[in-house]
Amino acid sequence: MIKINLTPDEELENPLWWVPDVLLAVTVALCGFFAGQYYLSDSKNELQRLNKEIVSLEEGAKAMVEDVKKYDELEKDHNALKSKLESLAKLTASEVVRYKPLILLEHLQNLSPVGLWFRTISFMKKDAAATPAAAPAAGAAAAAPADEEITISGFAFDNILVAEFLAALRATQTQDVDPKDLRTHVYFSTVKLVDSKLEPSQGMFLGENITQSSATGTIETNLERLPHFQVILEIKEHAIDKPAPTVAFLDLPFLNDRNL
């Protein structure tokens, strides 16, 4: 059997021929390792910088939240102060506005007939911008727009009493205005009957009857179910033209002149 040695001559002459290849591979590996370490170190530094920015932004956001809360509180205080100033301006500008709730309650008390009573009375201010004022007639004083409304619910012994109450409320629109009597300055511009139906009297007159006399005879009404009504009233104030200031007769200059 013939054996042929195919090993190159340089390898046969230098038994450490593999050392340069190993050194090259190790060098490449070390370069890759150090490059990876440098990249990781740079990435860690960038990550730390980003984390610091995130913490700084979170602290800034918290500070902004506190500032927003302070701003909201200041806005609430401003709105409350503005509302108080507007109320104070209304009270000091007009005596009618000052006593309007009392005037309205007096109107309701005086205009409600016997046999009709209220269960609830609620006052609500209206948006003046959303309610345009109607154009006044020629030669008439301009009336102020309705800025308030009242919602009333109650019971009556019969529907006739409810009708009388509504007619009395509408009559305030044509009442004579007395500049000295503040009660005549306020009237109900709109009288709207929202609901009217028979409902249980909620045990107030359980098992009781009422006898009413009429032209056709005597009518007996069961008080266990009574007419329940709900009315919405819009309130207006008559615009009264104040007379221009005049000079008193005795205060005229020519009367006080001693040379005459």
User: What is the biggest distance separating any 2 CA atoms in the chain, rounded to whole angstroms?
Assistant: 170
Q: pTM for the full model?
A: 0.49
CB 183 within 8 A of CB 192: no
The per-residue pLDDT for 64 is 84
pLDDT in tens, the chain (260 residues): 676 666 666 655 666 666 777 888 888 888 888 888 888 888 888 888 888 888 888 888 888 888 888 888 888 888 889 888 877 776 666 677 778 888 889 999 999 999 899 999 998 876 544 444 444 433 333 444 556 889 999 999 889 999 999 999 999 988 888 888 888 888 899 999 998 888 887 655 544 555 544 444 444 556 778 899 999 999 888 776 655 444 444 444 444 444 44
> 45 lies in a domain?
yes
The per-residue pLDDT for 100 is 84
CB 151 within 8 A of CB 234: no
> 79 lies in a domain?
yes
> 257 lies in a domain?
no
The per-residue pLDDT for 193 is 93
The per-residue pLDDT for 112 is 92
171 and 79 within one domain? no
How far apart, in whole angstroms, are the C-alpha atoms of residue 45 and residue 49?
6
> 9 lies in a domain?
no
* Domain coverage including residue 210: 96-129+146-237
CATH at 122:
3.30.70.60
232 and 103 within one domain? yes
The per-residue pLDDT for 204 is 58
The per-residue pLDDT for 231 is 94
164 and 86 within one domain? no
214 and 120 within one domain? yes
The per-residue pLDDT for 221 is 57
111 and 199 within one domain? yes
The per-residue pLDDT for 7 is 63
* Token pair of 158 as six digits: 């019969």
158 and 37 within one domain? no
188 and 170 within one domain? yes
122 and 221 within one domain? yes
